[in-house]
Structure 1
Amino acid sequence: MAPHMTPEELDCAIQMQHDGVGVVKIHERLSAKRVKKGVAATDLTSVRKALKGKTFKRGRKETRGRKRALKPTAAKKINTVRKKLIKDAKGMREVHWKDILKAARVTVISTTASRYLKEAGLEVKWQKPREKPLRQPEHEQERMEVCGRWRRYPSNYFTDTADLIMDNKLFRIPTFERARQYAKMQKVRGHLRLRSEGLEPGFTKPSSKKHMMNFGGSALVCAGLINCRVKLWHYLPKGRWNGEVGAATYRGPIYRALKHYRGEKAEYKVIEDNDPSGYKCKVAVAAKKELGIKAVQFPRYSPDLNPLDYSLWDEA
């Protein structure tokens, strides 16, 4: 069955009729244009009815096809109700389609409502909640205060004013063939495959939670950036990081690197990982106070955005 006449074809046909072209000739020209595009040509009767005004009336209400179950504005209303119910639930209970449709007073099934939202550019579907740190109002206020203070710092504060940016990284070292194969499989991010090929050999990888493997070796590295260059690279003993090891590292390689590359100063500004273990315990805090090392404080339950996480460690 040939497709309906488009508005452009109807305009062209009306113009040709106005110029005195016959209906048969108009049909031939429209058919020739469709043949060039690989589209089935419409029949002569349809062209004649359109030119007489019996069909394709401009501004007329659409009567073809199934009657729409919802008004065009219904999708916006359903989405507004959805967000309101989820906000009222405060993450303590599930909000289902039946709750949304009942509150919106819409008499359609969930599939119809979902289709209308998708047509409006809102692809709402059931998904697992993503996990993130649970911040209370006092944590939000602390974050606002810190950000309000930091926004007044010069643009070169973290590159010139900060004396050291440091972080720790544990590298697992595979020492046998099976561990090396496991490590390579974990790095695979995706495949070009069919949906039905998802569980076939070669398209899967082992779960890092259910199929953990002992690689046989590891190395814990403490690295630091000074003047935007890696000037600190220290292997921690026995791959451990705690208060005693942290204090010894501050008194040893960290303090030596600061004195060598930043000179003698009464106070060194250091940006360290937001992890409390080894950095914020009493022994490490006492060692930093003794050496004149002051760590930049981050708001609680906030990412530290350490440059080493997305530059040095990836390269290593």
Structure 2
Amino acid sequence: MPRKVQKKTAFRHYSGEEKEFLAKWHEEGKTPTEIAELLGRDLSSVFRHVKAMSSKKKAKPVGRPPSLSSKEVDRIVSKAKDLIKVADSKYQVTASMIRTGARLTCCVRTVLDALHSRGLYLHPMREKPVRTEEDEQCRLEFATTYGAKPLSFWAKTVDAYLDNKWFPVYLNARGRAYAAKRTARGSFRSPGDGLAKGHVKPRKNLKVNFGKSVMISAAISGSKVLVWHKVEGQWDAVNASLMYGKLLAPALRKAKPNLKRKFLVLEDNDPSGYKSKLAIATKLEHKINVLELPRRSPDLNPLDYGFWAELNKRMRKQELTFRDTKKETRDEYIERLRQTATRMPAKFCKALVCSLKRRCVDLRAAEGRDFQE
């Protein structure tokens, strides 16, 4: 007589949902028997899961315990900020000074690690104009007066933004390579690779002789470049008067024919040109009014804080495609500079001048001092 074979029930693992319910009911104080009935599971399997959860212990930390507590790190960060304010850029605050000020006995490396853990690293100081209290008060008044102006004021009511700039002239591969390297901000490297090829760029104050620089007098609006003029000789009252009367006034009338009889331009406090008697007389003759920037405020002139940098960036990008044997004459370089500037997109110009509203708001919040641009 054949023997009867008993069928075994297939084993089924606990689902994630079942484990969640098991843990929840265990925390609520239910017994394994009650949990087994609720889950429809065998008591022995429920008991094993409950035992495993109860026996779990917190993993012990591996390695050396941290040498500084969270409060001590807070004290290091606070002391660093206090010392930097006291130093006021007159000397460099070191990790050793911070350790002494925080009254800690750990090594300097530990102090540096604590600063790094809070995102504080040693960076080059940012270069800003040195201003007096009077300068800061003038900046605050400017921000208070114009911070509430709508975007249309900067894009349409202000007809032009003026500035001058010296441009170095790079005519060959060596000059172009120098210009490109000066724009590099940094590189990823190990401490020992700092002097290797690809990690070094020319010093900012290095004197080079690639070609005589050219001064450009420019005016932009909220949509395009209105004036792009190569200044012959030195920038003075005669050249400023020429720029206003022969170049800017006709460009403004052409840009807005029959719409305006008077114009408003933003310019800085240049005494040799913009504020000379001859230039002022020329502006009055052509009904050009002035929105004068506070002294030492390049962060409020769209050409200074954005246009020149974008122009240089586009020039360097063009030069990446040049052959090493390519040479330009001085006139060719200046013409390429002009074409690059006058082809700047209208969208870019508008965004650039409209950012003055946000800058005035930030300047007011900073009470006339430097703000995060």
Is the shorter-chain TM-score for this pair beyond 0.5, marking a shared fold? yes
Contact 1:270 1:294 in 2 (8 A): yes
Q: Superposition pairs for residues 28-47 of structure 1, below 5 Å?
A: none
Match status 1:255 vs 2:249:
yes
Write 1 or 2 for the structure with the bigger share of helix: 2
Aligned residue for 1:92, secondary structure, equals: coil
Deviation, structure 1 residue 88? 3.0
Aligned residue for 2:112, secondary structure, equals: helix
Question: For the residues of structure 2 that align with 1:236 and 1:108, how far apart are their CA atoms?
Answer: 61
Match status 1:168 vs 2:164:
yes
Match in the other structure for 1:143: 139
Deviation, structure 1 residue 278? 2.1
Question: For the residues of structure 2 that align with 1:312 and 1:180, how far apart are their CA atoms?
Answer: 15
Q: Superposition pairs for residues 153-302 of structure 1, below 5 Å?
A: 153-175=149-171, 178-180=174-176, 182-183=178-179, 186=182, 198-200=194-196, 204-210=200-206, 212-226=207-221, 228-238=223-233, 240-263=234-257, 267-273=262-268, 275-302=270-297
Runs of 5+ unmatched residues, structure 1: 1-10, 23-49
The percent identity for this pair of structures is 30
Deviates more, 1:268-277 or 1:159-168: 268-277
Aligned residue for 1:271, secondary structure, equals: strand
Which of 112, 117, 122 aligns to 2:119? It is 122
Deviation, structure 1 residue 252? 1.4
TM-score computed with the length of structure 2 as normaliser: 0.58
Give the partner amino acid of 2:227: L
Rate the CA distance shift 1:20–1:252 in 2: closer, same or farther, 3 A.
Answer: closer
Question: For the residues of structure 2 that align with 1:222 and 1:204, how far apart are their CA atoms?
Answer: 33
Question: For the residues of structure 2 that align with 1:89 and 1:185, how far apart are their CA atoms?
Answer: 33
Runs of 5+ unmatched residues, structure 2: 1-18, 27-43, 315-339, 341-373
Aligned residue for 2:129, secondary structure, equals: coil
Match in the other structure for 1:4: none
Match status 1:73 vs 2:71:
yes
Name the structure, 1 or 2, with higher relative contact order (CA <8 Å, separation 6+).
2
Deviation, structure 1 residue 150? 0.8
Question: For the residues of structure 2 that align with 1:98 and 1:184, how far apart are their CA atoms?
Answer: 38
Rate the CA distance shift 1:278–1:314 in 2: closer, same or farther, 3 A.
Answer: farther
Match in the other structure for 2:130: 134
Match in the other structure for 2:41: none
Query: How many residues matched?
Result: 272
TM-score computed with the length of structure 1 as normaliser: 0.67
**1:143-201 Cα shifts (integer Å, max 9, x gaps):** 22111111222221122111222333444434456545544555566677776555445
Rate the CA distance shift 1:118–1:171 in 2: closer, same or farther, 3 A.
Answer: closer
Aligned residue for 1:111, secondary structure, equals: helix
Question: For the residues of structure 1 that align with 2:191 and 2:62, how far apart are their CA atoms?
Answer: 36
Match in the other structure for 1:309: 308
Contact 1:166 1:270 in 2 (8 A): yes
Question: For the residues of structure 2 that align with 1:192 and 1:94, how far apart are their CA atoms?
Answer: 25
Question: For the residues of structure 1 that align with 2:205 and 2:114, how far apart are their CA atoms?
Answer: 39
**1:175-234 Cα shifts (integer Å, max 9, x gaps):** 456545544555566677776555445665444532x33333554333333461333233
